[in-house]
Amino acid sequence: MENFNKETISILGCGWFGFALAKRLIGLHYTVKGSTTTSDKLPALNESKIQPYLINFTADEVVCEDSFFDADVLFICIPPKRSSPELKDYPNKIKMILDLAKGKTKNIILISSTSVYGDENKAVTEYSGTHPETDSGKLVLEAEHLFKNLNPENFTIIRFAGLIGPERNPGRFFAGKKDIPNGLTPVNLIHQTDAVGIACAILEKQAFGFIYNACNPNHPTKQDFYTTAAKDADLIEPSFISEKTAWKIVESINVPKYLGYEFEVEL
């Protein structure tokens, strides 16, 4: 790894994924700037040797220090707030961020979601059509289009499947629930360890300019996976309806092709 350890990485949104990524990058000797929207989280960033920034984006204004965007790579890790009136403002927020980063950041990585694919009863890859069914999926896709239009030669997008890991124990998702539909559908999930691992692999291989589906290659059925997860967490096992109506299997061509990444966590 030539001079990668001298790179400066800015992580906009040090939430559940962003903070884990920032800590891993500090361990790999990158210089890391991290942002949060609340001042009480600044000390935690500082303690982890992350340069802390307070940054807030609303539909009307941006509160930030320009120096945050002076970086080799910027990760945009701010998912849309699903049940919030701010949901519809999401693409506009992304545009404001891209405008601020223009001319300051060499490479930008947008964290997106596999919700851009519809449940069309088939496997999907990075080269499949996108037909989102949820409001958040539609807005995430709109943000992706904005990003591509502003960076037509060099856009990097990571589409995460359902994220599990610390504080997101899948055993709790359906514990004790009865007659959950679609029990035979395949799950599309990724553990935080592998989500962070894929992001780091892009940096280490300098593999910018692609869309990556970040999803575990194993797809157990919903009823098998969540029943086992509840059992392992000593929670009441859920029961499912043994049916397979609307589903998809998220696969990746680009993660093995450009990153050669090997998943660490089994599903």
Mean pLDDT, range 173-184, rounded to an integer = 96
Average pLDDT of every residue of the chain: 93
Q: Is the pLDDT of residue 59 over 90?
A: no
The SS3 assignment for 136 reads: helix
Q: How many residues does the chain have?
A: 267
The SS3 assignment for 160 reads: strand
Mean pLDDT, range 176-183, rounded to an integer = 96
Which residue, 145, 54, 31, is CA-closest to 98? 145
Q: Which one is predicted more confidently, 6 or 52?
A: 52
Q: Is the pLDDT of residue 39 over 60?
A: yes
Number of helices followed by number of strands (H, E) in the chain: 7, 13
Q: Sign (positive/negative) of CA torsion 91, 95, 100, 106?
A: positive
- The pLDDT tens digits for 144-160 are 999 999 887 788 999 99
Task: Please report the domains of the chain, with CATH numbers, ordered by start residue.
Answer: 4-167+188-219+248-259 (3.40.50.720)
Q: Is the pLDDT of residue 216 over 90?
A: yes
Backbone angles phi, psi at 30, to 5 degrees: -80, 155
Which residue, 194, 189, 190, 198, is CA-closest to 258? 198
252: tokens are 């990746």
What does the pLDDT read at residue 1?
A: 39
Mean pLDDT, range 200-209, rounded to an integer = 97
Residue identified by tokens 């004790």 is 176
What does the pLDDT read at residue 62?
A: 78
Query: Strands 62-63, 56-57: parallel, antiparallel or unpaired by DSSP?
Result: antiparallel
First to last CA, the chain: 31
Q: Is the pLDDT of residue 2 over 50?
A: no
d(CA 103, CA 115): 30
Q: pTM score, two decimals?
A: 0.94
Name the pLDDT band for 5 (thresholds 50, 70, 90). Answer: low
Name the pLDDT band for 83 (thresholds 50, 70, 90). Answer: low
C-alpha distance from residue 243 to each of 185, 187, 192, 246 (Å): 7, 14, 29, 9
